[in-house]
A and B are shown apart, each in its own frame.
Chain A
Amino acid sequence: MKHEEEEKPQILRATNHYLYYPDEKDIPPYLAYGFRPVFVLLAPYMIISMVLWGLVWSGTINIPFMDNILVWHVYEMLFGILGIGVLAFLSTGLPELFPGLVPLVGKRLKYVVLLWIAGRLSFWFIDITGVYLAALLNLSMLGWLIWFARRAVLDKLQRHASLGYALLALLIIEAWFFASMAGVASTAPMDILKIGLGGHVVLILLALRRVNMEAVNELMEDKGIDDVYISRPPLTNLAIFSVIVFTVVEFLYPNNSALGWLGLASGAAVLAITNDYILKDKFILNQPYVIYLALIFVMIGAGYALMGYAILMTEYTGISHFRHFITSGGFGLAYLMVMIIIGWIHTGRHLTSNIYTHTMIALILLATLMRGSIPFFEEYAHELYLYSAIVWALPFMIYIKVFFNFLVSPRADGIKG
C-alpha cells in the first residue's frame, strides 16, 4: 500500500503554502517544519507520562515530591500537552490558512521546542524549582504561541480569529491556575482546571472544523468522490455555546440539577456536529478517516451526556470518571488524529488508513471505555486505572513505529519542509 503511494508522487492539495519557505541553510529534517520535532517528542512524552500516571492512580507507586497530585495530573494532561499540541497545529496550519506567512523552522523552531521542554522539566521538578518558574516557563510558551498566531486575530476578515481568542482565554485560565497554586488567588485550583477543560473543548471544536475541512476534502479528492464537505459554523457554534454555558454553570453551581440538563444538551450539540459528514449526494461514512474524526465528537458528546446523566441521577462520584470520555477519549483521539493526518499529508504522503491506524483508534476507544466504566466496576478499579493507562499509551508506541521515520526524513515528494 505504502510503496504504491510513494512510487507515483502526486501534487497534494496542501502544498501551495510551501512556496514561502525560509532560506535558512542546513536545516535538519526533524526541524524542517513545525510539526516534526513536536510529534517526535510528544509521542514518547504521552507514553511515559501516561504510564506513570497509571502507576500512580492504581497505587502501585507514589510521587512523593509533589503535593496535591490530582490537581497537577489534570494540569499536566491539559495545559502541559496543550502547549506543544498548539505549536504543531499553528506552525503547520497557519501558513496554510494565511498564504504568505513564512513557516517557523530551523533554529527558531528549536528554541520554542526547548522552551516547552524546559516547561516540562520545571513541572516535574516543581517541588525543587518552585511554582513561579513553572508558571513563567509554561505561560511564556502559550503567550509566545498567541503572539505567533496574532495574524489570525488581527486578520481583517476575522476568519480564524476565534482560535486566537480561545487561546487567549486559555492563557488567562492558566495564569489564574498558577496564581491559585501560588496562593495569590483564592479560587480552588480544581475549579479553575474544570474551566480550563471547557476552554480546551472549545479550542478543539474550533480546530477540528479546520482539520475536518482539510482532511475530509483531501480524502475525497484522493478517492475521486465528487462532492464537497463543508463544516457548517452554526452546528459548531451551538456546541461551543452549550459547552461554555455548561462550564460557567459548573463553576458557579456545581452539581446543580440544571447542570445535568446542560450536560445532556452539550452532549447532543457536540454529537450534532457529525451531521456535517452526511453529504448531499455521496455517502462518506464508510471512509475510515471520517469515522476516526467523527469518533472525537462521539467521545466528547458521550462525556458531556454521561456527566449530565450522573448529575441528574445525583450520582456525583461518576462525574469525574465520565469526564475522561472527554479527556482520554475526545482529547486523546483529537491529538492522535492531528498527529496521524499531519504525519501523512505534511510529509508528502497520501492520507492512508491501514491496520496500524485502525488499531491506534481502537485502542484509545478501549482505554477510554475502561477508564470511564470504573464507577460500574468499583471492585476492579485498581486494575482498570493501570491497564486503561497502558492501553491508552499503546497507540503512541505504534505511532512511533509507523511515523518516526517520516518525521525525521525529508518529504516523500521532494518539496521543502
Chain B
Amino acid sequence: MKFALKILKDFPSFLWSGLGAIASILLFIALWDAGNQIYGDLVLPSPLETFKTLLLMLQDDSVLAEIHTTLYRASIGFGISLILGTALGLLAGFFATASMMSRPIVTILVGMPPIAWIVLAMIWFGMGDETVIFTVIVASFPIVFVGALQGTRTLDGTLKEMAQSFNFPWHMRFFDVYFPHIFSYVFPAWVGGLGMAWKIVIMAELLATSNGIGASLAVARSQLDTPTALAIVVIMIASLMFIEYIILEPIKREVELWRD
C-alpha cells in the first residue's frame, strides 16, 4: 500500500520530467515536417495531416475493432509468456543444473530471428490467431525467462541463512526476503517482454493474417495510403510509449530502488 502511494506521489513530477523528452520528440516532428516539404505528400505526409487522419481513424468503429483484435492477440501471447517465463525462470534459478542447461536453449530462442518463427508458425498453424500468438510467445518468453532466472540466481545467500536461522515462517521468508529482490529483476523483464510482444504482434499480423492493425498496415501499403500507414505507426508507437512510460516506468523505478 505504502509502495503504491509513493508511486502515486511521485507521479506528477515523473510526468513533468517527460517534458524534455516531449521537446525532443517535437523537434523530430519538425524534421519530419521538413521531410514532407522536400519529398512531397505521397512519400511522407505532413505530421499535421497524419495526426488528423489518426483522429478520424480513432472515431471509426472498424479501426477500433482492428485495434481490439491486435490487443487481444498481444495480451494472450504476452500473458502466456509472462506466466510460463516467470514460473520456469524462477524454477530454473533455484537449481544450478537447470539454469546451466537452460542457458544455451534460451540463447537459441533469442538468436533465432522472429521472421523465421513466423514462417514456421504459418506452416504449423496456418493463417490465423495461433500463428500470431505463437510468434509473440516465442519472442517474449526468453526475455521474461532470463529476468526471472537472474532474479533467483542473484539472491543473497547470507540473507537466506539469516532467514533460516531466525526460523522465519515460509510466508515471511517469501514476501519479505525473496520477493522484493526477485521482483526487482522480474518486473523490468516483463516491461522488456511487453515491448517485444507489441512489436512482434504487428509484424506477425502484417505477414500472416487478414485482420488486426498489422493487416491494416499491409492494406495501407498496397493502396499507397501513406497517411493511414503513418497514422497506424503513430498508434503503435503512442500506445507502446503510453504503456511503457506512463504506466510501467514509474513502477519500475520504485521497484529498482531495491537493487543497490
Q: How many residues of B contact A (CB 8 A)?
A: 19
List the A side residues contacting B100 at CB < 8 Å. Answer: none
Which residues in chain B, 40-77, are within 8 Å of chain A measured between CB atoms?
46-48
Q: Report A-chain residues with C-beta under 8 Å of the C-beta of B19.
A: 268-269, 271-272, 275
Q: What are 16 of the A-B contact pairs (CB < 8 Å)?
A: A238-B24, A245-B27, A258-B30, A258-B31, A261-B26, A261-B47, A262-B26, A262-B27, A265-B27, A265-B29, A268-B19, A268-B26, A269-B24, A274-B16, A278-B13, A278-B17
Q: How far is the CB of A122 from chain B (nearest CB, A)?
A: 41
Residue of A242, A257, A261, A262 with most chain B CB atoms under a 10 A cut-off: A261
Q: In whole Å, how far is B16's beta carbon from the nearest beta carbon of chain A? A: 6
Main secondary structure of the interface of B (DSSP, over half): helix
Q: Which residues of B contact A169 (CB under 8 A)?
A: none
A258 contacts B26, C-beta separation under 8 Å: no
Query: From B30, which residue of chain A is reached at the shortest CB distance?
Result: A261
Decide if B33 touches A272 in the complex (CB within 8 Å).
Answer: no
Contact partners of A268 in chain B: CB under 8 A: 19-20, 22-23, 26
The smallest beta-carbon distance between B56 and chain A, in angstroms, is 18
Minimum C-beta distance from B78 to chain A (A): 32
Q: Name which residue of chain A comes closest to B49, CB basis.
A: A257
Residues of the B chain whose Cβ atoms lie less than 8 Å from the Cβ of A266: 23
Would B16 and A278 count as touching, CB distance under 8 A? Answer: yes
CB closest residue in chain A, given B46: A257
CA of A258 to CA of B38 in the docked complex: distance in angstroms? Answer: 12
Nearest CB in chain B: distance from A287 CB, A: 16
Residues from chain A with a CB closer than 8 A to the CB of B37 are 256-258
Task: Please determine whether A235 and B20 come into contact, CB atoms closer than 8 angstroms.
Answer: yes
| Nearest CB of chain B from residue A367's CB, rounded to whole Å | 26
Q: Of B30, B33, B47, B48, which is in contact with the most chain A CB atoms at under 10 Å from its CB?
A: B30
Q: Is the CB of A261 within 8 A of B29?
A: yes
Number of residues in A with C-beta < 8 Å to the partner?
23
> Knowing that A275-B16, A278-B16, A278-B17 are A-B contacts, what are 6 other residue pairs whose CB atoms are under 8 Å apart, sorted by A's residue number?
A238-B23, A245-B30, A258-B37, A259-B30, A261-B30, A265-B27
Within 8 A of B (CB), among A297-344: 312
Given that A261-B30, A261-B33 are known contacts, is A269 also in contact with B23, CB under 8 Å in the complex?
A: yes
Which chain A residues numbered 248 to 298 have a C-beta less than 8 Å away from chain B? 256-262, 264-266, 268-269, 271-272, 274-275, 278
Interface set, chain A 223-261, CB cutoff 8 A to B: 235, 238-239, 242, 245, 256-261
Neighbouring B residues of A239 by C-beta, 8 Å:
23
Q: How far is the CA of A242 from the CA of B24 in the complex (A)?
A: 9
Q: Which residues of A contact B27 (CB under 8 A)?
A: 242, 245, 261-262, 265
Residue B34 interfacial (CB < 8 Å)? yes
Q: Measured between alpha carbons, how far is A104 from B217 in the docked complex, in Å?
A: 68
- Chain A nearest CB: distance from B55 CB in Å? 14
Give the residue of A238, A258, A262 whose beta carbon is less than 8 angstroms from that of B20. Answer: A238
CA distance A265 to B27 in the complex (A): 6
CA distance A39 to B80 in the complex (A): 70
Residue of B nearest to A301 (CB): B19
Contacts A258-B37, A278-B13 given; indicate if A272 touches B20 (C-beta within 8 A): yes
Taking the closest CB of chain A, its distance from the CB of B28, in whole angstroms, is 9
Of chain B, the residue at the smallest CB distance from A285 is B13
Query: How far, in Å, is B169 (CB) from chain A's closest CB?
Result: 36
Known contacts: A262-B30, A275-B16, A278-B17. The answer to whether A257 contacts B23 by CB under 8 A is no
Q: Report A-chain residues with C-beta under 8 Å of the C-beta of B16.
A: 274-275, 278
Q: Which residue of A lies closest to B35 (CB)?
A: A258
Which of chain A's residues 166-188 have a Cβ closer than 8 Å to chain B?
Answer: none
Q: Is the Cβ of B30 less than 8 Å from the Cβ of A269?
A: no
Bound form: Cα–Cα A258–B33 in Å? 5
Contact of A265 among B13, B17, B30, B34 (CB under 8 A): B30
Residues of chain B within 8 A (CB-CB) of A235 are 20
Is the CB–CB distance between B30 and A275 below 8 Å?
no
Alpha-carbon separation in the docked complex, A279 to B48 (Å): 37
Q: Closest residue to A270 on the B side, CB-wise?
A: B23
- A256: B residues at CB distance < 8 A: 37
Asked whether, in the complex, the Cβ of A257 is within 8 Å of the Cβ of B22, the reply is no
A264 in contact with B26 (CB, 8 Å):
yes
List the A side residues contacting B48 at CB < 8 Å.
257, 312
Contact with A along B10-21 (1 / 0, CB 8 A): 000100110110
Chain B contacts for A245, CB-based, 8 A: 27, 30
- Looking across the interface, which residue of chain B has its beta carbon closest to that of A257? B33
**Measured between C-beta atoms, what is the minimum distance from B31 to chain A in Å?**
8
Which B residues are CB-close (under 8 A) to A257? 33, 37, 46, 48
Min CB–CB distance B40 → chain A (angstroms) = 14
Separation of A260 and B17 alpha carbons in the complex (Å): 23
Q: Which of A260, A265, A278 contacts B23 (CB 8 A)?
A: A265
Q: For A278, give the chain B residue with the smallest CB separation.
A: B13
Q: Report A-chain residues with C-beta under 8 Å of the C-beta of B20.
A: 235, 238, 268-269, 272, 275
B24's nearest neighbour on chain A, judged by CB, is A238
Write out the residue numbers on chain B whose beta carbons fall within 8 Å of the beta carbon of A242.
23, 27
Indicate with 1 or 0, residue by residue over B65-101, a CB within 8 angstroms of chain A CB atoms: 0000000000000000000000000000000000000
CB distance from B35 to the nearest CB of A (A): 9
Which 5 residue pairs across A and B have the least CB separation, nearest first?
A265-B26, A269-B23, A272-B19, A261-B30, A268-B23
Alpha-carbon distance A381/B27, docked complex (angstroms): 34
Interface string of A125-169 (1 = CB under 8 A from B): 000000000000000000000000000000000000000000000
Hey, which chain B residues are within 8 Å of A264, CB to CB? Answer: 26
Q: How far is the CB of B26 from chain A (nearest CB, A)?
A: 3
Q: Which chain B residues numbered 217 to 257 have a C-beta less than 8 Å away from chain A?
A: none
List chain B residues, Cβ under 8 A from A265: 23-24, 26-27, 29-30
Q: Within the assembled complex, what's the spacing in Å between the Cα atoms of A262 and B23? A: 9
CB distance from A1 to the nearest CB of B (A): 31
A272's contact among B23, B31, B47, by CB below 8 Å, is which? Answer: B23
